[in-house]
Amino acid sequence: MSTTAAQTRWNVAFHAEIAWLGPIMGAAHEHFGQRTVTIVGAEDPALGRSFACALVPVTESDGHFHQAGPYKTFEPDSDVYGWFAVEASASLWATGAKGVLVVLLYSLSGDLQYYTWQDVDSSVPYDPGAPMFFSRVNPSARVLAKMDDEMKELVKAAIADEIKELLRRETAETLHWALAERRMPNPPADSEANDTRLAFAIGSCQYPTAMLEHEVSGASYARLDERIARDGASGPQCLLLLGDQIYVDGTAGLFDPTSQFDRYVRPYQLLFRMPQVRNVLRRLPVYTMMDDHEIVNNWEPGIDERRPDPAMIDGRHAYVKFQRRAGPDLVTPVGDSRFPLWYPFEVGRFRFFMADTRTERTSRTARTIAAGRIMSEGQMSSLLDWLSEPSDMPRIIASPSILLPRHSRAVQRKLPVSALRSDGWDGYPGSLHQVLAYIAHQKIRNVVFVSGDEHLSCLARIELARPEDDPVVVHSVHCSPLFAPFPFANSEEADLVPDESFALHGKTGKGARYRCRVRTEFGPPGDGFAVLRFHREDGGWKMYCEFDRAHEEGAPASTIECNLA
């Protein structure tokens, strides 16, 4: 269906469709002096490049969406794969709307072939900081012929007519995939709720779905979506995805694709087309980090490599292009961290550090294991500086690799070389001991590590102390996977050392030596995610960790309560 303008010397016509992928919602932030949220989506490959993107506030009644206020139209600036990002003002959600519908307008008129939306609306701000892949590749009419005022009005009228026609002909059930329904705007940064309460979800390891697995493979996301809808304002405020969001090596090398598109683009299309995934990401801001399966299983630099591995560079580029499109932006290089993927961020007044424990790790041998690093010195320095900032709020450090408990194979016979058998933090004992010793020596309280990757759930209480001191308590929460259909790929409780005590050898100054005591409680097996809740109580902080699994009659509770200090 398309709408054609009245008889004029121009043919101006459009076809309106919802986004083929998306909306994927970023976190609220300041942009050009306004509070905005980044919305990411993709154009339909069958329809080609879109002319404009309209964000339409809508309400729902009688099974249809109805426009609830003025819509905003943007230049989508799509890349070669049709992915785009637009900055949406928080004011769009302030009209009492159920949400904001993301509508793409495709030109059906040859008269508009060389024009873009910026030729229609010159008030569209130019963002010099936008990534290069947001730039248009077709020539603009500004270098050919200026669009006159009459054609501008015809274009605006034709777009308005086509949006009305889309709302009339499609049901709310059909359009809800493209509805940005998250709670906006966020509460003010100084609100009491942002200072005393936090809830967020954690997930990782979403194995690619097969022909008959669609409902099963998306079951964890479906339960998270139900929780978001059920809990409302008290539900998760964001989602942390801690690696293996896609598997470029889903057949372990047997039938894995070799072309760039099939290996690094198509898996993201399949993931973000899953209905269960779309429902969650249109409601919650997501913070992600890549791990090995975005490159290849258990990737680390080769011992004799003198140049970066092309597979790592390709996987890293695809991660930035598709997982980080809605933000946060890349941070400035620090020392030997030349292409940082790690980043600090805040949810309300709660501070997070998303660590990259994959792309910056160093190669290891039996001779160099003590000097091996799970992250660059620049990232480690930034992490320790971040930890040093004064605060009595919980500090959440997220990484794909598990911090503690250690793997049995990494400490067997108490030989340092055994660490080569681990892919986690304990496989790089210098990095593990350094960060724990720093926390102990600086007496940093309320630190919580969260992680994925092991296909197993557990919560470890970690006490760091010298014999004459009160311990500094740290917690390590591990939750995985969202969907892992092969039991042989899952870790078991016997693979980890749940309860142990060992000496720390990290640099602490003045020869201080600390011991690390670990006590672990395991969650139920199976696919799922974790929800962590923090609230202030009696001058301290409590954490509730719930490992969500498919409900079974008579299943035991899976919530662990603990004091942070």
Q: pLDDT tens across 349-372, in order?
A: 999 999 999 999 999 999 999 999
Task: Report the pLDDT value the prediction gives residue 505, as an integer from 0 to 100.
Answer: 86
pLDDT at 7 over 80: no
- The region, left, alpha or beta by phi > 0 then psi within -120 to 50, assigned to residue 297 is beta
List Cβ neighbours of 424 (8 Å cut-off, separation of 6 or more).
Answer: 401, 402, 403, 406, 407, 410, 453, 454
Task: Report the pLDDT value the prediction gives residue 1, as an integer from 0 to 100.
Answer: 42
What whole-number distance in Å separates Cα of residue 343 and Cα of residue 280?
23
Query: pLDDT tens digits, residue range 472-515?
Result: 999 999 998 999 988 878 899 999 999 999 999 876 655 668 99
Q: Is the peptide bond before 125 cis (omega within 30 degrees of 0)?
A: no
Classify residue 319 by its DSSP letter. Answer: I
Per-residue pLDDT, averaged over 8-19, amounts to: 84
Mean pLDDT for the chain? 88
Query: pLDDT tens digits, residue range 417-435?
Result: 999 999 999 999 999 999 9
What whole-number distance in Å separates Cα of residue 176 and Cα of residue 23?
10
pLDDT at 183 over 80: no
What whole-number distance in Å separates Cα of residue 510 and Cα of residue 506?
12
Q: How far is CA 377 from the centre of its chain?
A: 24
Instruction: Enter the tokens of residue 58.
Output: 């809508």
What whole-number distance in Å separates Cα of residue 244 and Cα of residue 435?
24
Per-residue pLDDT, averaged over 285-298, amounts to: 96
Per-residue pLDDT, averaged over 435-451, amounts to: 96
Nearest CA among 285, 184, 276 for reference residue 224: 276
SS3 annotation, 423-478: CCHHHCHHHHHHHHHHHHHHCCCCEEEEECCCCCCEEEEEEEECCCCCCEEEEEEE
pLDDT at 149 over 70: yes
Per-residue pLDDT, averaged over 96-117, amounts to: 89
Nearest CA among 484, 270, 474, 300 for reference residue 375: 300
Nearest CA among 376, 503, 389, 504 for reference residue 447: 389
Helix or strand (DSSP H, E) at 273:
helix 266-273
Cβ–Cβ under 8 Å, residues 392 and 446: yes
Per-residue pLDDT, averaged over 166-183, amounts to: 92
Cβ–Cβ under 8 Å, residues 64 and 172: yes
Helix or strand (DSSP H, E) at 33:
none
Query: pLDDT tens digits, residue range 34-66?
Result: 889 999 999 999 999 999 999 999 999 999 999
What whole-number distance in Å separates Cα of residue 410 and Cα of residue 418?
5
Query: pLDDT tens digits, residue range 384-430?
Result: 999 999 998 999 999 999 999 999 999 998 898 999 999 999 999 99
pLDDT at 556 over 70: no
Instruction: Enter the tokens of residue 533.
Output: 């809740």
What angle do helix axes 429-442 and 377-388 make, rounded to 10 degrees? Answer: 20
What whole-number distance in Å separates Cα of residue 132 and Cα of residue 35?
23
Banded pLDDT at 118 (limits 50, 70, 90): confident
Query: pLDDT tens digits, residue range 251-278?
Result: 766 667 778 888 999 999 999 999 999 9
Query: pLDDT tens digits, residue range 338-349?
Result: 999 999 999 989
pLDDT at 10 over 90: no
List Cβ neighbours of 379 (8 Å cut-off, separation of 6 or more).
Answer: 334, 337, 340, 342, 355, 356, 360
Per-residue pLDDT, averaged over 513-535, amounts to: 95
Task: Specify the higher pLDDT residue, 339 or 137.
Answer: 339
This model's pTM is above 0.95:
no
| Domains located in the chain, CATH noted | 3-180 (no CATH), 192-296+319-563 (3.60.21.70)
Task: Report the pLDDT value the prediction gives residue 143, as an integer from 0 to 100.
Answer: 60
Residue with tokens 């894995």: 256
Task: Specify the higher pLDDT residue, 563 or 32.
Answer: 563
pLDDT at 140 over 80: no
Banded pLDDT at 135 (limits 50, 70, 90): very low
pLDDT at 98 over 50: yes
Cβ–Cβ under 8 Å, residues 547 and 530: yes
Classify residue 242 by its DSSP letter. Answer: E
